[in-house]
Structure 1
């Protein structure tokens, strides 16, 4: 085992590596591996999403094997979960936690159900002491295909998935380990899904630790409109708001005409830092705990957070993915002398932790792309006011008087002695459960019941129609064989479609309804705990639906 590090460098990136679908996949992912290998500071833990094929995974592994010798590719569903974790330190154990609610097989063109989305979990040991353990949770939650509108049938899925992530993080933190959740969460800051994670688990959104006044979504989102801020520039969205998706710096968000300017042998095309960026938003996150502060004699604090992987492919000129990476550095900070604690174990800095360069700056413009068209911006403004549900609005301080980032000592103190405001924010009020989450569950449960009934009805109607066609064949006049053929074809195709719907009703929708019942019980139980869901493990809540009282976790 190497010396215990003073800093841990983290990277999370959605690679956009869908086989047969993502353009220039092999070339881009190979370059991602090369950039990780030469990155400064060297990454210690890397979480990848949408790395779907073993070919791409092995390509990245070959190039990073000297700095990230340990890695795990996670298998899930029919086509794999697209998740991988690379580490400088040994991976002692791993598992793939499948989400109970995760898409529908009927939406086969979307694929979320078929890839078996979930949480890739890895237990990583970075030192010899019992608490020198990092538990990493890498995930890619359900995509907001329906725009997050009030009738978004997938909003319940993403809420459930955030709930599952929070439970995993809380359990790992209670074991005294440093917990990290990394990935593409398909949510924007301060949405209910975001609030579930930071409220129900002892973790922080590392970006908001250093940028507490960063945006709550794209410029047209109601939460941002309410703050009365000007449309940010591309540079501001990268540097201050941490926008990893849909910004003008990413070539995969350009129009086809603009993309034709790129390619081998063509002049480099860059984006002016002053380009308006009304659509850029943060979908990729790193959530981090502090570790067992008393056992370690200190804890892990956020030192640096930046948007990374913004470089272009050296030959093709395109961005390396349709997302940018989130990079962060956690630094170990000892407890202040006034805090009684066991003496901290000896720690030595590793040689590759002496730098903390920021790779988030935007490229200098040589050829400036035009800003988004008025039509594109106006279409964005017509989006629903509930992009990801109801939002918690923050005060609107001046852009020139942004709040200061907390010091390392104050970060640790906030874990040891939460302030009244932080303590209030650390527990969701019961109204969040009763007015936000439970109505989502009720609405989606009603939808599942309807789908189950409709598909069951279709099965029996198809069965009756098939029998009627067979009877018709019996009475077909001699010499009219083509009528018999048509009736047999209709009988076969109709019964096949009906049988598929019958199996969906019997297996999938029943399983989905059971998952919804479990989710509903956990939410109701958490709401009944003292403080509205933030009680200790030993607290018991009143049971629901005939179940005995039990713990919310």
Structure 2
């Protein structure tokens, strides 16, 4: 039986140490992969966090190796499987895991962009539920679609859609949770549309912005030029680095949660010279305690917050509208190309059956089949993309309408007492 915040002792306190890292564990592609994974296991063994959440562990063999190595300090572990390659998400916990779930994002890039490979990974969000000191703790780990190009970000719409699905998943699965914790590589800068949408809708707090003691690179950057594994051309628009990895959290009213310390690596291993990954690790110490109503955080959707939420919902709806227009254009184009390929096949069949030049028919048969199949696959994919974007846009529209209604209504006005009511109340008190 899990206790509610109101029934806890006034001096109740829970300390939670969390580790998060995009481990850059890509077989055959990542540099010094085996050595880095070994040193990562040694570091986690030495530090003994409450939770260690990892992204880009795309070798299940490496996960199993870490699981064996960390069996004593982290007896509970889980690997989230999805897609063709895998989500790359895994978690190691000092505490028993009560429940596990995951949600694979509807849209995740394009299958014909093979060199980016996000579509084959099946990017997802993983959820584990812990019961600690009478509290229900929902822990989420995720990895959103990569950006690749800041100037020509063809995946922006998909990433905004993923941010909305992530926010919705957290909203619907955390209703019984006392504490919510989200860690992962969001592939979004703090002021990006998807990041603002996620924070405004869920009310999650950014550990970097709230940390009482921060130790790490300037502005909390999680990819820095000092890291020898970072491709310098990726950071060319950003002279010092970027912040795309996050620890976000919140608690229900009646509980007060704070980030005591947040540490990040600074381009090298905490105890050795070589980095653990091309991303920097985040190490947060969170403190949860019972707080009287006046110490509890203000409601996440007050008047100002509702105005910000309405604005960001509008922006997201507009971005999805642009994405829908592009998807429909590609669907139409691929549909015409498919029809052209099928028409060519029909004509070639007629030539082959008739007395036409069969050599020409045989020569053009393979390109026509390739055109029909290739364009047909593109047509089906972008049809799926269009429907997915339309569905998410409808959800955003509904959320926007509800936010507007709440904003227009405002707080309920206090009713003035009826004539003589105050006197009657005084008489009763006397």
State whether residues 200 and 309 of structure 2, in contact with CA within 8 Å, keep that contact through their aligned partners in structure 1: no
With normalisation by structure 1, the TM-score equals 0.65
Question: Is residue 430–residue 532 contact of structure 1 (8 Å, CA) maintained in 2?
Answer: no
Q: Deviations over 1:449-495 (max 9, x none)?
A: 11111111111211222233344445679xx9xx72x6425312421
Distance 1:534 1:179 in 2: 26
How has the CA–CA distance of structure 1 residues 532 and 35 changed in structure 2, closer, same or farther, with 3 Å as cutoff?
A: farther
Shift of 1:309: 7.8
Q: Measure, in 2, the Cα distance between the counterparts of 1:66 and 1:116.
A: 31
Which of residues 31, 42, 56 in structure 2 aligns to 1:23?
A: 31
Distance verdict in 2 for CA 1:204–1:184, change over 3 Å: same
Superposition deviation, residue 293 in structure 1:
4.3
Q: Which has the higher helix share?
A: 2
Q: Equivalents in 2 of 1:205, 1:65: separation in Å?
A: 30
- Mapped partners of 2:259, 2:407: distance in 1: 24
Alignment-derived partner of residue 328 in structure 2: 449
Are the structure 2 counterparts of residues 34 and 181 from structure 1 closer, same or farther at C-alpha, using a change threshold of 3 Å? Answer: same
Alignment-derived partner of residue 144 in structure 2: 141
Matches within 5 A, 1:452-467: 452-467=331-346
Q: Match for residue 330 of structure 1?
A: 286
Pairing of 1:126-525 with structure 2 (within 5 A): 126-127=132-133, 129=134, 132-147=135-150, 149=151, 152-210=153-211, 238-245=216-223, 247-253=224-230, 278-290=239-251, 292-294=252-254, 298-308=255-265, 310-312=267-269, 318-336=274-292, 339=293, 412-415=295-298, 424-425=304-305, 428-434=308-314, 436-473=315-352, 484=359, 487-506=361-380, 508-525=381-398
Given that 1:98 and 1:118 are in contact with CA atoms closer than 8 Å, whether structure 2 keeps it comes out as: yes
TM-fit CA distance, 1:254 = 6.3
How far apart, CA to CA, are the structure 1 residues paired with 2:103 and 2:408? 25
Query: What SS does the aligned partner of 2:74 have?
Result: coil
**How far 1:7 moved relative to its partner?**
0.7
Mapped contact 1:205–1:287 kept (Cα < 8 A):
yes
**Contact 1:311 1:319 (8 Å CA) reproduced:** yes
SS in 2 for 1:249: coil
How many residues are paired up? 395
The answer for unaligned runs of 5 or more in structure 2 is 2-11, 410-430
Cα pair 1:456 1:502 within 8 Å, conserved: yes
Distance in 2, matches of 1:535 and 1:211, equals 36
Distance 1:532 1:173, change over 3 A: farther
Gaps of 5+ in 1: 215-235, 257-276, 340-409, 537-553
Instruction: Assess if the C-alpha contact under 8 Å between 2:269 and 2:275 holds in 1.
Output: yes
State the Cα distance separating 1:71 from its structure 2 match.
0.7
Residues 184-227 of structure 1: CA deviation (Å, up to 9, x unaligned): 00111122222112211132011111279x9xxxxxxxxxxxxx
Equivalents in 1 of 2:363, 2:77: separation in Å? 52
TM-score by length of structure 2 reads 0.83
Look up the SS of the partner of 1:428 in the other structure.
helix
State the 1:310 CA deviation.
4.8
Q: 1:321 to 1:489 in 2, by over 3 A?
A: farther
Per the TM alignment, residue 241 of structure 1 is displaced from its structure 2 partner at its CA by 1.3
> Quick one: structure 1 residues 59 and 533, their matched pair in 2 at CA, closer, same or farther if it must change by over 3 Å?
farther
- Equivalents in 2 of 1:535, 1:186: separation in Å? 34
Structure with higher strand content? 2
Q: Offset at 1:283?
A: 0.6
Check conservation: 2:217, 2:264, Cα contact below 8 A: yes
